[in-house]
Amino acid sequence: MQGLARHAALTAEDKALLLGLELNPRRMSAGEVLWQESADVDLFCVVKEGWAYSYRNLGNGSMQILKVYLPGDIIGMRDFGFSRRLAGVAMINAGVVSPFTHQQLFEIFSRSPALAAGIMAMAVRQQALLTERLVYLGRYAAHERLAHFLYELYLRLKRIGAVEENGFHVPLSQEQIGDALGLSAVHVSRTFSMLRDEGLVIRDRQRTVLPDPDALAQLVEFSGTYIDEALPSVFQSFA
């Protein structure tokens, strides 16, 4: 959970507490479901390897992907105040997750204000990702939705050292990207072609390259404050 180090100054004891959340890693297969919608809220998970997504199954048989989780993310915090799951979660590709319980989370909250503040900040910022998704799904054209989605992934992956020469691995299928953006797989394919012809995106199987990331960001007037903004100074008092 290296991401917490960006949200709070961690002591040796804090780091030991975090390691306690990762003592029972569970290897997951591609497509494996961590939990279904409306299941009991009994666990949370840290993504150690691989990608996952949260989703809702819709009455017309389609699916809406709500959030894509990358290594270092915590899954399930949105359910913290509920007894039933608000959404299902499944793996995108094979990976490793570390489940932990409410009791372990309460112990961290009681023993480390810095970690409590950091976990709260991570949860709030995950919610900000959903807010941004709502804005660009409702107001952007298809090529802008895809450009925004890819640039957001680029920034998030860059923060965990998973971008090399503006290229990164995206294990999502065109159908899954469509489920995240409210587009058909055919429309996603055409939109990738449009962005490629404009020199903004190159996609070869699961590898995506942004030849000019700044140009892609300018296309959608991307503001990365919900990803990159530092915590308010008041949080430092908990360190």
What would the pLDDT profile of 90-111 be if each residue is shown by its tens digit?
Answer: 999 999 999 999 999 999 989 9
3-class secondary-structure state, position 26: strand
Give pLDDT tens digits for 6-47. 555 678 888 888 888 888 899 999 999 999 999 999 999 999
Name the pTM for this structure.
Answer: 0.89
- CB contact set of 103 (below 8 Å; sequence gap of 6+): none
For each of the domains in the chain, give its residue range(s) and CATH number, in order of start. Answer: 2-112 (2.60.120.10), 141-219 (1.10.10.10)
In angstroms and rounded to an integer, the radius of gyration of the C-alpha atoms of the chain is 18
Predicted pLDDT of residue 199: 97
pLDDT band at 50 (very low <50, low <70, confident <90, very high): very high
Instruction: Give every strand in the sheet of 167-169, ordered side by side.
Output: 167-169, 207-209, 202-204
pLDDT reading at 114 higher than 90: no
Q: What is the C-alpha to C-alpha distance for residues 226 and 236, in angstroms, rounded to an integer? A: 19
Instruction: Write the secondary structure of 134-164 as one string of H (helix), E (strand) and C (coil).
Output: HHHHHHCCHHHHHHHHHHHHHHHHHHCCCCE
Q: Token pair 């890819």 is at which residue?
A: 150
pLDDT reading at 238 higher than 60: no
Give pLDDT tens digits for 141-198. 999 999 999 999 999 999 999 999 999 999 999 999 999 999 999 999 999 999 999 9
Predicted pLDDT of residue 232: 57
Predicted pLDDT of residue 122: 80
Predicted pLDDT of residue 223: 82
